Chain A
């Protein structure tokens, strides 16, 4: 095999300019795909962390069956009682890989500073658990002020645009108003313990965070709307969902469990868009690689017709001729991909050195432009392009193999 490989490499070097153009086309195509893949990979992991930790969705969220469909119409019926909540938390935290399970409640209403009022949407969270969920993410979007504290249950955190609108800064007081589960109006005093950036222009003027006890008191209940589960690894999400669903259903708890990506609409939509762009780009590169290889190999067959005749006269079988040209296609794919890897690493290094930032649409602050270096993805892409080039060379290779020996020897 090595002798034919050597012959294939030398044949590629025969017409250096043409081979270089083909290699460059494959290399640039490879780099375009791999860099975009690296960018998308980083974006996906950023969005994932943003959904799990930034939005506080955790990895799994347990709802009472029917909550997502009818919960807003009859909240009390579709919330977990205190006993159910404690039971679920006990069952869930028994499992290996579960970091915590924490109850939450969502409240919407009107917030006021005594002069101006506006709508708000708040999550009632257990402060300590919320800090655990945020983890290192908290440093990315730090809270200005002390933050939530269970000892001061009326202390709240306010998203930055809402705080600005109501002129609420840490230490200042306000009022929040909503209806209880039984439909009565209820208002409670709050003190701003922190101001934070929700990360999105769409939510920065609405979001608040309450302590869980305060949220329960505001809607006058001891129930929980959902139980958020944090795992030690996001890759366990699906497996844990199946396990917990079986376990809780077996214990007589009628519930449904949603994953972080099912609940984060932003993640799903961005991923859908990037996947489509990736497919589009990939298709273009695929066509370029195939056309370049077919063209190069087609020219090679034409130029080397007499040589093919000689090889056939010396006893090389048709299959051998096909293999030789297919191998040349594969070698083109390999070296083209290698150029692509060099380009990828160079651009990756430049981006790391210059640390550029940009502000995506709908996002409140600039984010760093980062391209991941994923060796496995580069390797898989390389294998794919080698295979693709090999396949692309098969058509001209078959044409070469089918030539009549006498005609090929007489070719000028």
Chain B
């Protein structure tokens, strides 16, 4: 079943009087349970594509449906709900809330959803255990290494049991060993829970493990159907 459906998606940015065509007619379908990498040179439109798939940005033209819901027809509040319930985000810079502990950061999406404190805590503890951080639950982000922070971010992205996780260069700031661990965690979640992962990367270690590669160049998909 299609989780993401994009038809003739275009995205333009205006820099003063200059129009930048970031995406120029993207057609893409991603099914549930896929492990997809978006790759291509800098400026090819990878992040823009991920922002659209993550419902944090709107296409200039074209149709985009996430989990069967046409994004353009959703209000801002409905998009927020869609993101909270259906999509998990992993950022290159981790983007953890510095005043919250690891556990509180992971609990955040559940608390935004309105889950009770007890349930949210239990679920967040479970996710932190899965990423091997049971002993760091009280630690604030600044007291953790980059790898540990990214593992907290993965736990946070997965805590709501989303259908889709979007990761923008998730291993870019990590050393090889940590990157391997992060890739492993993502693969494990994909295989065990059939969570769809879409990420942008330049990391060959990550590209070697994906089931499907979508190559972008100048805002167009030049190779999108290859499955491994």
Contacts and interface: CB of A to CB of B under 8 A. Distances in A.
A344 interface: no
Contact of B91 (A310, A319, A320): A310
Contacts of A7: 97, 99-100
Max chain A C-beta neighbours (<10 A), residue from B76, B80, B81, B109: B80
Interface residues of B, number: 25
A269 interface: no
A405 interface: yes
Nearest to B54: A313
Contacts of B109: 314-315
Contacts of B113: 315
Given A314-B84, A405-B56, A320 B99 contact: no
Contacts of B99: 7, 10-11, 13-14
A71 to B, nearest CB: 73
Interface string B49-91: 0010010110000000000000000001100110111000101
Interface in B83-133: 83-85, 89, 91, 95, 97-100, 108-109, 111-113, 117
A17 interface: no
Given A3-B117, A306-B95, A315 B56 contact: no
A307 B97 contact: yes
A306 B89 CA distance: 14
A313 B89 contact: yes
B185 to A, nearest CB: 19
A10 B140 CA distance: 12
A271 interface: no
A314 B100 CA distance: 15
Nearest to B83: A315
B89 to A, nearest CB: 5
A340 to B, nearest CB: 26
A144 interface: no
Given A312-B80, A318-B76, A409 B91 contact: yes
A351 interface: no
Interface in A296-315: 306-307, 309-315
A387 B97 CA distance: 27
Nearest to B97: A307
Contacts of A14: 98-99
Contacts of A405: 56-57
Contact of B51 (A306, A315, A406): A406
Given A14-B99, A310-B91, A315 B80 contact: yes
Contacts of B76: 317-318
B56 A3 contact: no
A44 B171 CA distance: 72
Contact of A314 (B57, B77, B83): B83
Nearest to A410: B47
Nearest to A14: B99
Nearest to B82: A315
B112 A314 contact: yes
B91 A315 contact: no
A317 B84 CA distance: 10
B83 A3 contact: no
Contacts of A185: none
B118 to A, nearest CB: 12
Nearest to A408: B56
A306 B81 CA distance: 20
A138 interface: no
A313 B57 contact: no
Max chain A C-beta neighbours (<10 A), residue from B77, B91, B95, B98: B95
Interface string B211-224: 00000000000000
Interface string A307-347: 10111111111111000000000000000000000000000
Contacts of B84: 314-316
A331 to B, nearest CB: 13
Nearest to B156: A314
Contacts of A406: 51, 56-57
Nearest to B157: A314
23 contacts: A7-B100, A13-B99, A14-B98, A306-B95, A307-B98, A311-B112, A312-B80, A313-B56, A313-B83, A314-B83, A314-B109, A314-B156, A315-B80, A315-B83, A315-B109, A316-B80, A316-B84, A316-B112, A317-B77, A318-B77, A409-B56, A409-B91, A409-B95
Given A318-B77, A406-B57, A409-B91, 5 more contacts: A310-B89, A313-B89, A314-B83, A315-B85, A319-B77
